[in-house]
Amino acid sequence: MSDTRHNWTKEDILEIYNKPLMELLYEAATVHRLNHDPNVVQVSTLVSIKTGGCSEDCGYCPQAARYHTNIEGNDLMSVQQVKAQALTAKAVGSSRVCMGAAWRNVKDGEEFDEVLEMVRTINKLDMEVCCTLGMITENQAQRLAEAGLYAYNHNLDSSEAYYKEVISTRGFEDRLQTIDNVRKTNVTVCSGGIIGMGEKIEDRAGMLVALSTLNPQPESTPINALVAVKGTPLEDQQPVSIWEMVRMVATTRIVMPETQVRLSAGRTQMSQEGQAMCFFAGANSIFAGDKLLTTPNPDVNEDMKMFELLGLNPQKPFTKKVQPQTVEASESQFQSLGEKPKWTRPEHIIARNEAAKEKAKALK
Ligand code: SF4
């Protein structure tokens, strides 16, 4: 096991990111082998339990109600529907289910109680359960922990500076506050970001500074390549090259040696050779299923063929941390507090977000 540093600077990280590629790959692969089995990759399944109609203005997201995209929204799924999807995912080798809801933040009430029941149900299927529900308070994090949640996802998306160019309806500091609230429980932290939103390499390094200087570092970090969706403010962004993705994965692996690095959105744009290079550079998780929330993703059979070709094995659940115990709702120590936290709303103007909103209005 290598020593994990928590004092990375932007300069240190840029130096790593910009190394000659062969040196970068060799170093990343070495760190990877010291901390993980290089032939094991976790297969996770993302289930969109509540799609679309979101009040936020994230420039990359087709689920924001203010933009005109072809997303079909739905109300919160039932526990039985989610269980059925989890069982299908388990049958094809997934060991983790990540449930995503297009919410700004969690509100105490019936819908959150339903989500807690989903967590209990999936944990009892012996799968790792992750949720991504927006900002949460400490009490809400405790309730999720009691239900048996294994991980909470809350991405930083980009550097603090570039975050302001993508989202105006909430502040970067609130992201950190939610991560801090999760850290007060036994739930592990999943936090990463997106490349290809028009940010500079310095911003990618800035995001890795923010993540790697957390102590402890996130147990899981998704690296997404933007999938530019028509109607969103970032619809005209060009796809990132595989070389940028490989460099980002390798740099993440080096600065966060013990973290599970997840190849997330944008895999349909990558060849199998490109993905193999990412695994060599330290990626050790993929998301399975033909959709990632709302954007396309490779078919699960294709993924299994790729695993066979590369001699990779799907990771078993709870290999990094023991399975949490589920406490039933009737025995819960943490009750709904009916909290109304004041999360930040900076509401500064982002020209391209405004333009996409106006375009959507004109189309209505
Ligand atoms: S990324 Fe999440 S918070 Fe932002 S608009 Fe999409 S669903 Fe809403």
Q: Per residue in 99-124, pLDDT tens?
A: 999 999 999 999 999 999 999 999 99
pLDDT at 70 over 90: no
Q: Which residues on adjacent β-strands are paired with residue 340? A: none
User: In 3D, which of 96, 62, 63, 99 has the Cα closest to residue 78?
Assistant: 99
Q: Looking at residue 300, what is its pLDDT?
A: 79
Side-chain-facing half-sphere of 247: CA atoms under 13 Å: 18
Report CA(192)–ligand 1 centroid distance (Å).
15
Pairing of strands 260-263, 283-288: parallel
Q: What is the pTM of this model?
A: 0.95
| Any atom of ligand 1 within 6 Å of the Cβ of 174 | no
Report CA(61)–ligand 1 centroid distance (Å).
6
CA pair distance 118, 82, nearest whole angstrom: 7
In the DSSP assignment, the letter for residue 157 is B
Instruction: Tell me the three state secondary structure of residue 100.
Output: strand
Of all protein residues, whose CA lies closest to atom 4 belonging to ligand 1? 58
| Any atom of ligand 1 within 6 Å of the Cβ of 54 | yes
Q: Looking at residue 144, what is its pLDDT?
A: 98
Stretch (H or E) spanning 88: helix 79-91
| Any atom of ligand 1 within 6 Å of the Cβ of 58 | yes
Please state the atom number of ligand 1 nearest to the C-alpha of residue 61. Answer: 6
Average pLDDT over residues 49-55: 93
Distances (CA, A) of 91 to 28, 87, 117, 122: 32, 6, 21, 14
Average pLDDT over residues 85-92: 92
Report CA(147)–ligand 1 centroid distance (Å).
24
Q: Looking at residue 312, what is its pLDDT?
A: 97
pLDDT at 1 over 60: no
Decide: 44 and 38 in contact? Cβ < 8 Å: no
Catalytic residues: 54, 58, 61, 98, 130, 190, 262
At 123-143, the pLDDT tens digits run 999 999 999 999 999 999 999
Candidates 48, 51, 56, 345: which one to mutate for ligand 1, based on the most atoms within 8 Å of Cβ?
Answer: 56
Q: Distance of alpha carbon 187 from its chain centroid, rounded? A: 15
Please state the atom number of ligand 1 nearest to the C-alpha of residue 170. Answer: 3
| Any atom of ligand 1 within 6 Å of the Cβ of 102 | yes
Average pLDDT over residues 148-152: 98
Burial environment of residue 2 by CB neighbours within 10 A (0 to 12, 13 to 18, 19 or more): exposed
Q: Looking at residue 296, what is its pLDDT?
A: 65
Q: Which residues on adjacent β-strands are paired with residue 153? A: 190
Report CA(133)–ligand 1 centroid distance (Å).
9
> Which tokens hold the place of 36?
């993980």
Of all protein residues, whose CA lies closest to atom 7 belonging to ligand 1? 102
CA pair distance 154, 181, nearest whole angstrom: 11
At 290-341, the pLDDT tens digits run 665 666 667 778 888 999 999 999 999 999 999 999 999 999 999 999 888 8
